[in-house]
Structure 1
Amino acid sequence: MSDAATLQRIRLHLARSREFPEGSARHGYEFVAPLDGAGHIDLEAWKGQRALCTVTRFWGNDAHEHGHLVHRAGGANGATWVFDYEPEASEDDEAGYRFGDHAFAPGEYVSVREEDGDMHTFTVFSVAAV
């Protein structure tokens, strides 16, 4: 694990959108990832702790979905971070848009492409040590 990387619990809330003009704390994700001192996901640290890097998707009244944060080949810069809910299938994966480039800090914005292809923007609501 990188010296400065520590496991963090990151909570994302749906940002303002046409459907939710005020955003929504009832729609989002909570996931665990090793972040370096600048708030970026640390790939080397993730490799040693991938089983601990879980995700929960909460979406209004829908049942919560549980999975893992996974690093996959392809995408921007040759790899993509995805939320994987079924390891034997890839059609359910939700890709973080340029997650490797973003600092995860409260108030920042990130986007996730859902399995149906829709892209949603989220606010980083909280980041706390696990």
Structure 2
Amino acid sequence: MALSRIVMRLARNPGTEFAGGDDHRGYTLTAPLTADGHLDEAAYAKAKDACTVRRFAPDEDAVDGRLARKGQRWFFDYDQGDSADDEPVFRLGDHIFAVGEYVTITDEDGRPLTYKVVEVQKAG
């Protein structure tokens, strides 16, 4: 099973302080993808420990976590013992991870922000 490295950068988010986007804020996700670019749920079940996320921004230290799932809800988890830090990802299982696609992530302050997929490559 191959993992992919997916880089998402903050897209334009009108009505927020990020109206013009910010290429220096985003996420790097490592996860298995199907041939058409969706999350591969079967492969994820076998490789949960290898599915990681790193949140980066210029005004804070990078934060490492993991891709997690409860039922149909996918989220980024930065502390397994504390659900308060979880960042839900809107309909993550429905997204296609391909360059130019968009993903909505609810940040640590509870705001849904849109990110653009800027890179997808085999991890390793």
Report the TM range for the smaller structure's normalisation: over 0.9
**In 2: Cα distance, 1:17 partner to 1:95 partner:** 17
Match of 1:87, SS state, is coil
**In 2: Cα distance, 1:26 partner to 1:83 partner:** 19
Q: Deviations over 1:37-87 (max 9, x none)?
A: 0100011100111111011000222011101001113xxxxx111110000
Scaled by the length of structure 1, what TM-score is found? 0.88
Structure 1 stretches (4+) deviating beyond 3 angstroms?
A: none
Scaled by the length of structure 2, what TM-score is found? 0.92
Match of 2:92, SS state, is coil
2:13 alignment partner AA:
S
Query: Match of 1:107?
Result: 100
**In 1: Cα distance, 2:35 partner to 2:12 partner:** 29
Query: Match of 1:54?
Result: 52
Q: Within 5 Å, which residues of 2 pair with 1:17-56?
A: 17-18=13-14, 19-56=17-54
- Please tell me the root mean square deviation across aligned C-alpha atoms, in Å: 1.2
Q: Percent identity?
A: 41
Query: Match of 1:89?
Result: 82
Structure 1 portions without partners, runs of 5+: 74-78
Structure 2 portions without partners, runs of 5+: none
Give 1:25 deviation, angstroms.
Answer: 1.3
Number of residue pairs matched? 121
1:31 alignment partner AA:
L
Match of 1:100, SS state, is helix
Q: Within 5 Å, which residues of 2 pair with 1:58-77?
A: 58-73=56-71
2:32 alignment partner AA:
P
Give 1:107 deviation, angstroms.
Answer: 0.3
Q: Deviations over 1:64-119 (max 9, x none)?
A: 1101001113xxxxx11111000011110001100100100000011001232110
Query: Match of 1:8?
Result: 4
**In 2: Cα distance, 1:89 partner to 1:20 partner:** 28
